[in-house]
Amino acid sequence: MGYLRPTFAWLEITGLCNENCRHCYAGSSPQGDHGSMTVADWRRVIGELRGMGVRNVQFIGGEPTLHPALPELIRHAIANGMRIEVFSNLSHVGEAVWAALRIPGVRLAFSYYSDTPADHDDVTMTRGSHARTRANVAKARSLGIPLRGSVIGVLEGQRGTQARGDLLQLGVRDVRTDRIRPFGRGADGRDPRMDRLCGRCGRGKFAVSPDGEVWPCVFARWMPLGNVRERSLSDIYLGTPMRAARAELQAVFPDTGVSMSPTCLPDCNPSFESCTPQTACAPDASCGPTEDDGVIGAPGRSVRYYDPGVSGTDC
């Protein structure tokens, strides 16, 4: 497969979410469900990923912690030699999930919108979500779970810079920023456009939906490539629809075809790609983007933010 060898997969195990965020690209809500994929289906997919050489997976939703089989699937992926990230809103985490998150090789990512409950809850459309998320960030820190915070700008005047500072005060060393992606509810009713993608969709990565559909990425949901309940992942990844999708993307993003990097630029947040924890206060070039004074810049880079006013963020 050359440089197109698959290395990363999003496993969207549910469309159910206990929040109703204004910008959700998946359109998830409390009215969603776990789809038609069974636990056996997901276990088989994880085994197929191992056979394809994929070693990085992200469990996502919806809200993945609401799926009763998440702890089992985490353990199955670990047993198959995978590094795992769970992307959550961190407002509903049961004890079985906490136990699974503490397994070595598992890290936790979460979305955060403001240092104030009013702002955060306005984005999530869920009263009390800020307090629950913040409390669970503190709990994850106390349990020693590797954390990544994602501050996404959604509302005019949103306190994103203060949100980042709040996470630093809580001891989260890896804090990133992102913008609304114009898909799902984030598109405000507009049809999805290919030129709003990053151009690297399907190049070493793909997503599996709660109903088994495979997409080039979680944002390219209008580009179905096949269904894992009908065909193997390997057949889908090497198949005609995937090749056609790459060609279509190549026509819109001609410069991406010459890159050997598997990383989405700008960062297709949520995704951890090849990011690994690091102790040095230095940019991690494989994870992006970075932020300067509240402005997204330097795609493909992320920093563990240093704040001289916050203890524990220096080297």
Domains and CATH numbers, the chain: 12-190 (3.20.20.70)
Name the burial class of residue 195, with classes exposed (0-12), middle (13-18) and buried (19+) by CB atoms within 10 angstroms of its CB: exposed
Q: Nearest-CA neighbor of 157 among 196, 111, 110, 122?
A: 122
Q: What is the pLDDT of residue 93?
A: 97
- Residues 60, 254: Cα–Cα separation, whole Å: 30
CA distances from 63 to 21, 26, 27, 66, 185 (A): 11, 11, 12, 6, 16
| 83-97 as b/e: b if 16+ CB within 10 A | bbbbbbbbbbbeeeb
pLDDT by residue (tens digit) across 98-116? 999 999 999 999 999 999 9
Residues of the chain whose pLDDT is less than 50? Answer: 1-3, 257-315
Name the burial class of residue 124, with classes exposed (0-12), middle (13-18) and buried (19+) by CB atoms within 10 angstroms of its CB: buried
**How high is the mean pLDDT of the chain?**
80
Contact in structure between 194 and 245 (CB atoms under 8 Å): no
Q: What is the pLDDT of residue 307?
A: 40
pLDDT by residue (tens digit) across 209-263? 999 999 898 888 878 899 999 999 999 999 999 888 888 888 887 865 444 334 4
Q: What is the pLDDT of residue 186?
A: 63
Q: What is the pLDDT of residue 244?
A: 87
Q: What is the pLDDT of residue 50?
A: 98
- Residues 75, 139: Cα–Cα separation, whole Å: 21
Spatial neighbors of 189 by CB under 8 A, at least 6 apart, are none
Q: What is the pLDDT of residue 254?
A: 81
